[in-house]
Amino acid sequence: MTAEYKVHGDVAVITMTNPPVNGLGYATRVAITQGLAQANDDPAVKAIVITGAGRAFSGGADIKEFGTPKAIAEPNLLSVILAVENSAKPVVAAVHSVAMGGGLELALGCHFRIAAPGANIALPEVKLGLIPGAGGTQRLPRALGVEPALNMIVSGEPVKSELLAQVPGQKLFDRMAASPESLAEEALAFARSVANTPQPFPLVRNLPSRHPLGDAYFQFARNMVKGMAKNLPAPGKCVDAVEASTKKKFDEGMAYERELFMNLMLTPESRALRHLFMAERAASKIADVPEDTPQRAIGKVAVIGAGTMGGGISMNFLNAGIPVTILEMKQEALDRGIAIIRKNYEAQVKKGKLKQDKYEERMSLLKTTLSYDDLKDADLVIEAVFEEMGVKQKVFETLDGLMKPGAILASNTSTLDVDRIASFTKRPEDVVGLHFFSPANVMKLLEVVRGAKTGKDVLATVMNVAKKIRKTAVVSGVCDGFIGNRMIEQYSRQAGFLLDEGATPQQVDRAIEKFGFAMGPFRMGDLAGNDIGWAIRKRRAQERPNMLYSKTADKLCELGRFGQKTGAGWYDYKEGKRDAIASKLVEEMIAEHRKSLGIVPRKIADEEIVQRLVFALVNEGARILEDGIASKASDIDMVYITGYGFPMYRGGPMLYADQVGLFNVVQAMKRFQKNPRDDASFWEPAPLLARLAAEGKTFN
Ligand code: NAI
């Protein structure tokens, strides 16, 4: 049973017991309605309490049932709430810890509510591109007032119960319990005190919903939402639904909410957000590493190299309260690295995002050293030195001779072979890639690179460490560039070919930014430094001499235009400013290169630009899946959303391709094979893509 029924004297208590958050899955819904019937049939029972066991009242819909027939099977949540409202004996919701989505909607259907302080109350459906679908948009404005309700529904963010209880005139909570511990007792007493309430019992649906400013308020709200939520339909629909609560009869408002909800369910944006919600949970699971795999304790961390990455990586651990020792070759390098960490924290203090004492606490966890001897008792060491195999070899040989048994030896390499790095040690099972993204203290993504010999306990441990430092970890196999950078290479090649064929950097950037990318490839290059890609291309040219690139990026670097750091790149920059200004010189350089190739420039439509960039990602993504570098398409989507600025509302490249239709993707690729710079092999559909397209299937 996923709800427990117990009678305490004259009060029946229905306790949802569906861990971890008492999701309102089918079995729980059945159990609640059965409990209600039993209580109504029992002459000894005078009142009913509904509450949740463990860590929540209820977190809402059961995510395990998402998208399955069980999610809407009768009794659905609307029917359960109706049964509560119609109960002949008064029903009290005893809310604690978490009441979200359907959980809050259930509580709103009860005749009375008592809440413990500290409970997180929310209607988070908007985060999945939806609106609440079981009366939340009609009942919350009636119980709490239009303005605070709309704020909660549009933001999806939780608000503490004790704050809500202070909203003037609110009818959300009839009572506040003194503490979470006393809630159960107080709920029983409260239920007894209302046991003799005459019918009809108070129902939220019968309360008025209005805003003193009337229509003007909803106009203001709509204006605000439009500015905040470009590209997402749900926030605007939240306003429509709440407005309906002020204009329509309750039942008509409910029907309208249902209609909006069902329409949103079908939007690509909601599908994308729901996909990512599931993808994030799926990414943390590794098929052959069971959840009960033993883990190693990580109490102390060492970082080697205090450069761009080493500093940012260290901050993640300091933020999580884990002590870090950073090692460098020279004191100057250490001083420089520490100064940057300080500067970052001080900026946060200035903005009020970090308290001074927290800042000091974090810095007190940081030690620096020039001697490997100070690292040997670390549980995890992360190497972030220069991207050269020879340098990494020396570091790993040293670590192998020095670190205590059981220490995890990680490399932050972005392109080098993690298996080779592991082979420099006599303990390859302890070696793993931890590929952070720059700026490492900000970016959510962590690619966990699984070597051929990486131990399962090492994997389980680093996945858990990732959670502690609030990263989204995605497992990648070993290959040049891992998941993210291996795909971006094909995207960058396309960006170059587009220039060769007639586009300008600003046109390419604008087109893909309009599609929703945070930054186009050329602005991105200028920010990250074009010299980085240059160095990688030089290395790859030796390994894969036949790989065709546009030569424009190399020519740019030969001019010393590395990007913002040199004041010029694909764009010009004014001193101290980051605004990208179209560059005459670059345009001439590109035109000259085109001429040397004998290409007559043509006007390229934005649609073609977007398709060529995105489908280049998709095709390589398909190869990555086939090669087993990524174990599922949703992992690739997570990488692109959290590490590469791919628009959330499109759900990542693989889901986007699914939504466009793989047949259509393949057709477009066939058209591109005729482009002058795209050799047919580039657009040869990956075998997996071709097969799925032919079978009418999808990646996800
Ligand atoms: P960086 O040049 O800013 O920093 C490297 C630091 O390592 C320097 O401070 C240097 O003094 C120190 N160092 C070099 N050899 C050392 C040794 N033997 N012992 C101790 N310290 C040593 O380089 P960055 O950008 O921080 O890159 C470090 C690693 O992170 C590279 O493997 C790179 O591929 C990888 N990476 C870089 C990203 C980026 O965006 N910069 C992103 C993800 C990974």
Residues 12-36 pLDDT 10s: 999 999 999 999 999 999 999 999 9
- 412 Cα: distance to centroid of ligand 1 (angstroms): 8
Judge whether 666 and 685 are in contact, CB under 8 Å: yes
3-class SS string, 552-591: HHHHHHHCCCCEHHHCECCEECCCCCCCCEECHHHHHHHH
323 lines ligand 1 (CB under 6 A): no
The atom number, within ligand 1, closest to the CA of 392 reads 18
Q: Give the closest residue to 325 by CA, choosing from 380, 252, 387.
A: 380
pTM to 2 decimal places = 0.92
Question: Ligand 1 pocket: which of 371, 386, 413, 444 to mutate (most atoms <8 Å of CB)?
Answer: 386
- What gap in Å lies between CA 384 and CA 392, rounded to an integer? 9
Indicate which residue's Cα is closest to atom 36 of ligand 1.
414
564 lines ligand 1 (CB under 6 A): no
Indicate which residue's Cα is closest to atom 1 of ligand 1.
307
**Which of 4, 74, 125, 543 is labelled catalytic?**
125
Is 626 among the residues known to form the active site? Answer: no
The atom number, within ligand 1, closest to the CA of 387 reads 32
- What gap in Å lies between CA 433 and CA 422, rounded to an integer? 10
Indicate which residue's Cα is closest to atom 4 of ligand 1.
307
333 lines ligand 1 (CB under 6 A): yes
> Would you place residue 678 in the very low, low, confident or very high pLDDT band (cuts 50, 70, 90)?
low
Question: Ligand 1 pocket: which of 381, 414, 415 to mutate (most atoms <8 Å of CB)?
Answer: 414
Question: Ligand 1 pocket: which of 395, 396, 412 to mutate (most atoms <8 Å of CB)?
Answer: 412
Q: What is the pLDDT of residues 373-422, one digit of tens each?
A: 999 999 999 999 999 999 999 999 999 999 999 999 999 999 899 999 99
CB within 8 Å of 637: residues ≥ 6 apart: 275, 276, 279, 646, 651, 652, 653, 654, 655, 700
438 lines ligand 1 (CB under 6 A): yes
387 lines ligand 1 (CB under 6 A): yes
447 lines ligand 1 (CB under 6 A): no
Judging by DSSP bridges, how do beta strands 571-572 and 581-582 pair with one another? antiparallel
Is a pLDDT exceeding 90 seen at residue 541?
no
The chain-wide mean pLDDT, for the chain, equals: 96
Q: What is the pLDDT of residues 307-363, one digit of tens each?
A: 999 999 999 999 999 999 999 999 999 999 999 999 999 999 999 999 999 999 999
By three-state DSSP, how is residue 236 classified?
helix
Judging by DSSP bridges, how do beta strands 91-95 and 324-327 pair with one another? unpaired
Distances (CA, A) of 12 to 8, 38, 50: 6, 9, 9
- 311 Cα: distance to centroid of ligand 1 (angstroms): 10
> Would you place residue 275 in the very low, low, confident or very high pLDDT band (cuts 50, 70, 90)?
very high
Q: Give the closest residue to 86 by CA, choosing from 36, 38, 42, 51.
A: 36
307 lines ligand 1 (CB under 6 A): yes
460 lines ligand 1 (CB under 6 A): no
State mean pLDDT over 250-258.
98
Q: What is the pLDDT of residues 98-135, one digit of tens each?
A: 999 999 999 999 999 999 999 999 999 999 999 999 99
- What gap in Å lies between CA 532 and CA 529, rounded to an integer? 6
Indicate which residue's Cα is closest to atom 14 of ligand 1.
385
152 lines ligand 1 (CB under 6 A): no
The percent of residues in the chain predicted with pLDDT above 90, rounded, is 92
> Would you place residue 368 in the very low, low, confident or very high pLDDT band (cuts 50, 70, 90)?
very high
- 387 Cα: distance to centroid of ligand 1 (angstroms): 6
Is 105 among the residues known to form the active site? Answer: yes
304 lines ligand 1 (CB under 6 A): yes
**Which of 85, 105, 243, 608 is labelled catalytic?**
105
Is a pLDDT exceeding 90 seen at residue 545?
no
336 lines ligand 1 (CB under 6 A): no
